[in-house]
Amino acid sequence: MAVFPNSHDLSGLPPDAIAAAAHVLAAGGLVAFPTETVYGLGADATSPEAVAKIYAAKGRPQFNPLISHVFSLEAAEREGLFTPEARRLSEAFWPGPLTLILPRAPGGTVCDLACAGLATVGLRIPAHPIALALLRAFGRPVAAPSANRSGRISPTQAADVAADLGATVHILDGGRCAVGVESTIVACLEGAVSLLRPGGLSVEAIEAVLGHPLDQTPAKGIQAPGMLASHYAPNAALRLNAADLRAGEAGLDFGGALANASLDLSPGGDLQEAAANLYRYLRALDARGAKTIAVAAIPDKGLGAAINDRLRRAAAPRG
């Protein structure tokens, strides 16, 4: 395993770290890399053999389509057909925590396996200097789900990746992810714009650019498997909207509402800070052996919608 020093930019990486990682990708291998949302487990999106290694490493059902990460709008336009609304969203929010689901473009290079055989492709330009440097050096789309074993909490620091995926994975260490929850997924298909997964970009911000509300009725047929009821699960059970702590519970607080909580996602009640801390704190309470984590109520606006979505899935009965 190659783990490089902590850094929020490229300055902490050895000079050849990006080139070495791009070489691993070109040879059909896997590279875990930081994005602004969570760490991704990347492979050459154009190679089914390389993409298959992602599914194997994650222990993930093969029918889940993956997000293909690209360096530029031009590269995205080679892979997906942009509706006028998709174009406006990409111009407003890329690079950033937004994934667009688009019809696959004729001549696109992302392989069928990365799209799980669908006629659509998931595309994103991540806002992280290491991710962008890697994408630029590699020059092809990189398919990357979150770098955790399937059904587990997404990693927001390099140590979480190593804990989940072990010693075989090549990791670029970019420190902690600033956003901390996965990208917001929006499908732009046949004139309709619909929310498939709340995430690091708020619905309010997207609607402000569109000038109309997003379709939030659960999409049929293009369901994102990140919507499986039990997903993003820690080992501990979760009790949501807790007003107090019961015997033996560890408390995960927000805004100082719970007495005797172990950790507070944001003592000042800041939803962005809470999102950035969410997975790391759930992992930390798990590591302490908590049987049940009682979580304080989180306001359901802005990034709170994504936080509550992940908490509900983590609290769901395990399948």
Q: Which residues bind Mg ion (CB under 5 A)?
A: 146
State the minimum distance, in angstroms, from the CB of residue 141 to ligand TXA: 12
Token representation of residue 111 = 């392989």
Q: What is the DSSP string of 264-301?
A: ES-TT--HHHHHHHHHHHHHHHHHTT-SEEEE----SS
For the chain, helix, strand, coil in percent to 5 are 30, 20, 50
Cis amide linkage into residue 106, ω under 30° from 0: no
Helix pair 84-93, 203-210: axis angle to 10 deg: 130
Dist CA 230 CA 237 (whole Å): 12
Letters for 169-208 (x = contact with ligand TXA by CB under 6 A, - = none) are -------------xx-x----------x------------
218 to 237: interface string for ligand TXA, x by CB under 6 A: ----x-xxx-----------
Among 121, 245, 285, 298, binds ligand TXA (CB under 6 A): 121
Q: Could you tell me the smallest distance in angstroms from the CB atom of residue 126 to ligand TXA?
A: 6
String marking each residue 53-72 x if it binds ligand TXA according to CB under 6 A: -----------xxxx-----
H or E element: which one contains 212? none
CB closer to ligand TXA out of 135 and 294: 135
Residues that bind ligand TXA (CB under 6 A): 35, 37-38, 40, 64-67, 99, 101, 115, 118, 120-122, 124, 126, 144-146, 182-183, 185, 196, 222, 224-226
